[in-house]
Structure 1
């Protein structure tokens, strides 16, 4: 008989990831012709024209396996970041890199420190390997690095710091990080997940690459999914000292980064004007949404990313469902423990305006 005893017991601790509702599902289920998705922190501007053109050129080559070493992207990114080529590792999105970190470093005796409200994949990477989650509550919606340092024990193996944090959009500052790192033993790995790095405009945001020279236990994760608008291609990368990269690379599957993703990422790195446009669009969108939330007297968390956490002061699930009926998909925060909050991605101007219009209608019903 197949039952829970059939599977590894670690699997039973895992809660499946719940992504933002897909547009096509909402259209089909609700019979809608037009749907706006502001749920998954995607870049509404889309990929750079150069990346689109490179993808078109690459279509006829997909019968060939991709470069398993990601040579040309590795070369270009190393130059851009000012790191060595052997200090980079690439993955099928940052999600794969998180899984690789778990497979490389987490055992059933390991403790992994994370923020109480943060990206759920840290729990997945830990639980699937049988590690123990040590959750530290946020302080003013941001990581409490002082409390996280105090939570370190001889069994601590990894510490995940999502900066900016998802779903709150807050950051930890350079001063806080520098003080924190002095308190972390050098055999405890500190992973800075900087998926929204390109959107940050806060002057106190740390440039973590500078820490690599002094801290062998620092790993940085970034992605092409967000500001570079390549979420559908799944490509992320990690930065760390060569020794750590070599360990992680041993559990990486061959050909894990597809050909289209490699070509598009290379082209995207050369499209600085498009990236700047995306960042500028996001900043303008944030300011508009802030103003509208203020008018509606809704509390929100000022963000350093491309999404905003908003407190509706009422059941967020009901508002989420009503907005979906009106063709607007946002993210309900109930699964994060926020019963009255939603997370909304900053969209194009017309998308932001449509969201506010429908939000007003729902709140006034």
Structure 2
């Protein structure tokens, strides 16, 4: 089929990659004819979602023929109350991904510079490039944002800065004191986007970023219901920011960007703190067990505070990915994440899922290392 089309797309799309999600279980089953498949590729909650969210979705289906409220005022009010901010400081989106897109669409002019880590959530870079912005990627230091170098990279052309904390895909967090100093150092005309998608999984004491909103009107905090709340399939996230920023994003958002079902599920999820606490505790236990096991295999593992771990391997990460995939374990390797090709990102599963992963790893390790030695 001829791929040349007479209508040229925008020049910003040239060379722009396409987001590669974790391989679906159904596709693996078709390809290899496997009956048992464990997906540890997309940082999903292996414990599902709260039964309160499920019940709310079932009830809301009776009104599925009606458009949702565009701004989700009931959910916004609940989020504001829970965070201790005003409702006009809250915006919901079709996942926090959409709010990233709104921010780029509303604030990035062609030629503007946007500072971010060189290995972080790739949708920051994608959206900035679509708007004609220039990405300034600052190398991580031992898997952690180098805030001093990021500060030095800010110049007159800088329009926005992204800090993913915990960082995806390394799972690392920045020092609390260093982050506070960084927030205070970013010029007020530069938007500082603090992406806290995995904040609920963190065990160590973190900076209370929301408390800084009043003092720093250029601060935007992103969070999501996709991770610990288990609503990834419903696509709903949210952000805390200055009311003026909220209004700018409303101008560029889609009319009905979040569904009735998503809003209802999110609202109900906020009423189930016990579910969140149980997921956090289970994740912490299994994350520690998984980290220790991987290190016992001789792998270096970044200290993660998220619901995934990143390990460094001597071999090409794609070799590991394929070896595990053929045996029914789906992970992501660095090449799929625009990261170091000698890395693997593995979501933390249930105890049973992690047992299966470790068993398969023990099976494939000898062959993988034999190939490396022969090479």
Question: TM-score w.r.t. structure 1 length?
Answer: 0.97
User: Equivalents in 2 of 1:115, 1:95: separation in Å?
Assistant: 17
SS in 2 for 1:73: helix
User: Equivalents in 2 of 1:54, 1:209: separation in Å?
Assistant: 28
Is the 1:43–1:229 contact (alpha carbons within 8 Å) kept by the matching residues of 2? yes
Which residue of 94, 100, 103 corresponds with 2:102?
100
User: Equivalents in 2 of 1:142, 1:105: separation in Å?
Assistant: 27
User: Equivalents in 2 of 1:176, 1:214: separation in Å?
Assistant: 17
SS in 2 for 1:122: helix
| Aligned Cα root-mean-square deviation (Å) | 1.3
Q: Which residue of 2 aligns with 1:207?
A: 208
Unaligned segments of structure 1, at least 5 residues: none
User: Equivalents in 1 of 2:114, 2:238: separation in Å?
Assistant: 21
Is the 1:13–1:127 contact (alpha carbons within 8 Å) kept by the matching residues of 2? no
Which residue of 127, 130, 135 corresponds with 2:129?
127
User: Stretches of 4+ moved more than 2 A in 1?
Assistant: 1-5
SS in 2 for 1:153: coil
1:5, distance to aligned residue in structure 2 (A)? 7.1
Q: How many residues align?
A: 364
User: Equivalents in 2 of 1:8, 1:315: separation in Å?
Assistant: 34
Q: Which residue of 1 aligns with 2:360?
A: 358
Alignment of structure 1 residues 325-364 onto 2, 5 Å? 325-335=326-336, 336-364=338-366
SS in 2 for 1:213: coil
User: Equivalents in 2 of 1:64, 1:155: separation in Å?
Assistant: 45
Describe the superposition over 1:81-123 as per-residue Cα deviations: whole angstroms up to 9, x where unpaired: 1010010111000111111001100011210001010000001
1:13, distance to aligned residue in structure 2 (A)? 3.8
Q: Which residue of 2 aligns with 1:168?
A: 170
Alignment of structure 1 residues 187-226 onto 2, 5 Å? 187-203=189-205, 205-226=206-227
1:147, distance to aligned residue in structure 2 (A)? 0.4
User: Equivalents in 2 of 1:317, 1:148: separation in Å?
Assistant: 30
SS in 1 for 2:340: coil
Is the 1:23–1:37 contact (alpha carbons within 8 Å) kept by the matching residues of 2? yes
User: Equivalents in 1 of 2:201, 2:291: separation in Å?
Assistant: 17
Alignment of structure 1 residues 1-365 onto 2, 5 Å? 2-3=4-5, 6-203=8-205, 205-335=206-336, 336-365=338-367
Question: TM-score w.r.t. structure 2 length?
Answer: 0.95
Report which stretch shifted further, 166-175 or 5-14.
5-14
User: Equivalents in 1 of 2:4, 2:22: separation in Å?
Assistant: 31
